Amino acid sequence: MSKLWALGDPHLSAETEWQHAVSLEVIEWVKNHPYNQPGNEAILAGDLIDKYHSSPPTHELIVSFLMAFKTSKVHIVVGNHDIDKDILSETGQSIAYNYASHLGEKYIMYPYPQEFEALGLECVALPYYKAPTHCLVDLKSGSQPLSKYNIDAQKPYDLCMAHHFLYEEKRTNIPEEVTLDVWKMLPNTKLILSGHVHVADSLPDNYLGSLYPKKIDEHGLRFTWVYDSDTKQWLKEEMPLLCELISIKYGEPLRAASSSIALPVYTITHCPSPDKARAYYGDQVYIRKVVSSWEHIRTNQDFATIDEARYKSEGLISKEELMERFEQMVLDDASEWKKVDVSKDVLIAAVNFIKDVSEDKVDTKEPINVPAH
Kindly report the CATH number assigned to the domain that includes residue 128.
3.60.21.10
Res 362: pLDDT: 35
Q: Tell which wins on pLDDT, 53 or 303.
A: 53
268 and 181 in a common domain = no
365, part of any domain:
no
Domain closes at, from 224, 240, 256:
240
pLDDT tens, position by position, 228-264: 999 999 999 999 999 999 988 889 999 999 888 999 9
CB 120 within 8 Å of CB 229: yes
Res 144: pLDDT: 87
261 and 234 in a common domain = no
332, part of any domain:
yes
Res 319: pLDDT: 56
**pLDDT surpassing 50 at residue 306:** no
Among 121, 141, 138, 142, CA closest to 130: 138
372, part of any domain:
no
106 and 44 in a common domain = yes
Res 249: pLDDT: 86
67, part of any domain:
yes
257 and 232 in a common domain = no
Q: What values do phi and psi take at 302, rounded to 5?
A: -65, -35
Number of structural domains found in the chain? 2
**pLDDT surpassing 60 at residue 280:** yes
363, part of any domain:
no
CA dist list (Å): 102 to 45, 47, 69, 107, 133: 20, 19, 15, 8, 27
342, part of any domain:
yes
pLDDT tens, position by position, 135-173: 888 888 878 899 989 999 999 999 999 999 999 866 656
Res 307: pLDDT: 47
161 and 44 in a common domain = yes
202 and 62 in a common domain = yes
279 and 172 in a common domain = no
Domain closes at, from 219, 240, 261:
240
**pLDDT surpassing 80 at residue 86:** no
Dihedral angle, C-alpha 258, 260, 265, 268, nearest 10 °:
50
190 and 319 in a common domain = no
276 and 195 in a common domain = no
CB 36 within 8 Å of CB 42: yes
The radius of gyration of the chain's CA atoms, rounded to the nearest angstrom, is 23
CB 181 within 8 Å of CB 167: yes
Res 291: pLDDT: 79
Which of 131-140, 276-285, 288-297 has the highest average model confidence (pLDDT)?
276-285
230 and 144 in a common domain = yes
370, part of any domain:
no
Sign of CA dihedral 35, 37, 39, 43: positive
248 and 99 in a common domain = no
Res 172: pLDDT: 56
pTM of the model: 0.78
Domain closes at, from 240, 258, 288:
240
Res 217: pLDDT: 78
Res 215: pLDDT: 87
**pLDDT surpassing 70 at residue 185:** yes
Res 353: pLDDT: 54
248 and 204 in a common domain = no
pLDDT tens, position by position, 91-145: 578 899 999 989 999 999 999 999 999 999 999 999 998 766 778 888 888 788 9
Q: Which domain holds residue 339?
A: 244-358
Distance CA 43, CA 7 (A): 6
Q: What is the mean pLDDT of the chain?
A: 82
pLDDT above 90 coverage of the chain, percent: 57
Q: What is the mean pLDDT of residues 76-88?
A: 86
28, part of any domain:
yes
